[in-house]
Amino acid sequence: MNNFFPLTVKELKKVTSDSVSITFDVPDNLKERFNFKEGQYITLKKEIKGENVQRAYSIWKAPYEGVLSVLVKKVENGIFSSFSNDELKQGDTIEVMAPQGNFVPELNSTQSKHYTLIAAGSGITPIFSILKQILKTETGSTIDLFYVNKTKESTIFHSELAGISSPNLTIHNLYTKESSSDSNLEGRIDKLKCKVLHSSNLLKVDSDEFYLCGPEQMIFDVKDYLVEEKVNESKIKFELFTASGSDKVEEVITDFSEAQITITIDDDDFDYTYNVDKAESILEEGINQGLDLPYSCKGGVCCTCRAKIIEGTAKMKINYALTDQEVEDGYVLTCQTVPTSPVVKVSFDD
Ligand code: FES
């Protein structure tokens, strides 16, 4: 169920000049619901200046640490990120949805793998959680972390990462606005940089699994490079914070002009008429009709708006977030979903 729960802010800590870590107090009766896996995120909801704002943020703590903390980096004109960095106080309450997300490795204490983790900027948050949980759970596994930032000063979790003393972890810090003693580690990661890192034996294309989080361009450049180097796509997992989606949009054509939509949420049913020419998605039209529906990115990259098609058919224009199994099971990202039959029932409760 995609419910929000009011959680109290237990601790606020500045991590860099423009990012803050928010730790929530999770009461005993919600502990099970807020159990999370490494790499997952939570969606936060707050009314800010009269506007209902929902945003997803990755959890940076590892599950074994048992603490629910997210990192919010201030972005230009970011309503929620500015509020979190400048106005939020300890003791305040925020509506929080239970952890979600598929950017999660399947860890097993008996396996010994090599993991390649690649992050840029605040993309480190889910990667940091994954990294710590791997080191804790799989003592025979090794990790190469490539982490791109402008400068050492602006690097999120720089000292926390430097403080991890494990022979199983190698950190490669890349700076785009600071020189390095190794010129291979200067500049952002694109296809050319992948080639350089590969040729210098830093990037291992025979790694067992790859986890990428950062800007869309970096993710797709790395993915393209790895695939060209014959890495099986199933080994490459990525988490996008935003996406243009322009290269992945599926066109949907229907032969009806209106569809009757029924939305089930919190055990209540709501009906509305969907105008095929005007409406953008089942989620958007539901919100226009006054429904309080869960969402975050509205770009098909998180799973916050996930719901199940119970009756009728519908199609997603973009899907960067659901697994093939979830799609097979009838789940959709409602922010990207349009009806392909004149009657569609969608449940946010399943
Ligand atoms: S709101 Fe993020 S995928 Fe729909």
The tens digit of pLDDT for each residue in 260-280 reads: 999 999 999 999 999 988 889
Which residues of the chain are in CATH 3.10.20.30 domains? 258-347
Element at 209 (helix H, strand E): strand 209-214
CA of 129 from ligand 1 middle (Å) equals 22
DSSP3 helix / strand / coil % (the chain, rounded to 5): 25, 35, 45
Report whether pLDDT(253) > 80: no
CA of 221 from ligand 1 middle (Å) equals 23
Element at 287 (helix H, strand E): helix 282-288
Quote the crossing angle between the two packed helices 216-228 and 191-199, to the nearest 10°. Answer: 50
The CATH number that domain 114-240 falls under is: 3.40.50.80
Report whether pLDDT(246) > 60: no
Q: How far is CA 59 from CA 26, 63, 152, 181, 199, in A?
A: 14, 9, 22, 32, 34
Supply the pLDDT for residue 244: 59
CA of 256 from ligand 1 middle (Å) equals 26
CA of 53 from ligand 1 middle (Å) equals 13
- Is 302 touching ligand 1 by the criterion CB < 6 Å? yes
Nearest CA to ligand 1 atom 3: 300
What are 88-118's pLDDT values in tens digits? 999 999 999 999 999 999 999 999 999 999 9
Measured in residues, the chain has a length of: 350
Which residues of the chain are in CATH 3.40.50.80 domains? 114-240
Residue 53: how many other CB atoms lie within 10 Å = 15
d(CA 268, CA 347): 10
- Is 335 touching ligand 1 by the criterion CB < 6 Å? yes
- Is 96 touching ligand 1 by the criterion CB < 6 Å? no
**What's the topology of domain 258-347?**
Ubiquitin-like (UB roll) (3.10.20)
- Is 305 touching ligand 1 by the criterion CB < 6 Å? yes
Number of alpha carbons in the 13 Å side-chain half-sphere of residue 2? 28
What global pTM score does this model have? 0.88
CA of 145 from ligand 1 middle (Å) equals 28
- Is 322 touching ligand 1 by the criterion CB < 6 Å? no
CA of 42 from ligand 1 middle (Å) equals 12
**What's the topology of domain 4-97?**
Elongation Factor Tu (Ef-tu); domain 3 (2.40.30)
Mean per-residue pLDDT over the chain, rounded: 93
d(CA 234, CA 256): 38
Which atom of ligand 1 is found nearest the CA of 320? 3
The position carrying tokens 């209540």 is 268
Supply the pLDDT for residue 2: 57
Q: Classify the C-alpha dihedral 27-59-56-13 as positive or negative.
A: positive
Mean pLDDT of 312-339: 94
Which atom of ligand 1 is found nearest the CA of 56? 2
Between 185 and 312, the more confident residue is 312
- Is 60 touching ligand 1 by the criterion CB < 6 Å? no
Which residues of the chain are in CATH 2.40.30.10 domains? 4-97
Q: How far is CA 285 from CA 65, 87, 335, in A?
A: 40, 32, 9
Among candidate residues 47, 41, 45, the one with its CA nearest the CA of residue 55: 45
- Is 319 touching ligand 1 by the criterion CB < 6 Å? no
